[in-house]
Amino acid sequence: MFPFEIAYAANGQQASSPWVSIIPLILMILIFYLLLIRPTQKKEKDRMKMIEQLKKGDKVLTASGMIGVVVNIKPEENIITLKLAEGVKVDFVKSAIQQKLS
């Protein structure tokens, strides 16, 4: 007998099942998933949906903090052209778009 089994036997209790010690770990993983992973996945899914629905004339914010107006969309190349100022057009990868402003 192990020392902890002797202590349980001395108190008249039985050793607990190994499943009882796994339950808190499972609960922690569940809480971690519900509070951190799931909301992040939902937010990313919504952002990708927003990117797919962009059209010419939409005002957007990029990951680098630049604000521009969508001038051209090249879906086959995954590139969006933004007008940042008069006469200034810059190509961005679609994944660089963070949010639609208008």
Q: Provide the sign of the torsion angle of the four alpha carbons 46, 50, 51, 52, taken in this order.
A: positive
Assess whether 67 and 37 both reside in one domain: no
pTM: 0.68
Cβ–Cβ < 8 Å for 28, 63: no
Which residue is associated with the tokens 């990117």? 51
| Residue closest to 79 by CA, chosen among 43, 98, 51 | 51
Structural domain ending residue among the three candidates 52, 74, 91: 52
Q: What percent of the chain has pLDDT over 70?
A: 84
Number of domain units in the chain: 2
CA distance 28 to 55: 43
Assess whether 43 and 70 both reside in one domain: no
The helix (run of H) or strand (run of E) holding residue 48 is helix 38-52
**Which amino acid is it at 22?**
I
pLDDT in tens, 89-100: 999 999 999 999
- Report residues of the chain scoring pLDDT below 70: 1-16
Q: Chain-centre distance of CA 85, in angstroms?
A: 32
Assess whether 40 and 59 both reside in one domain: no
Q: Which structural domain range is residue 20 located in?
A: 1-52
pLDDT in tens, 79-88: 999 999 999 9
Assess whether 36 and 26 both reside in one domain: yes
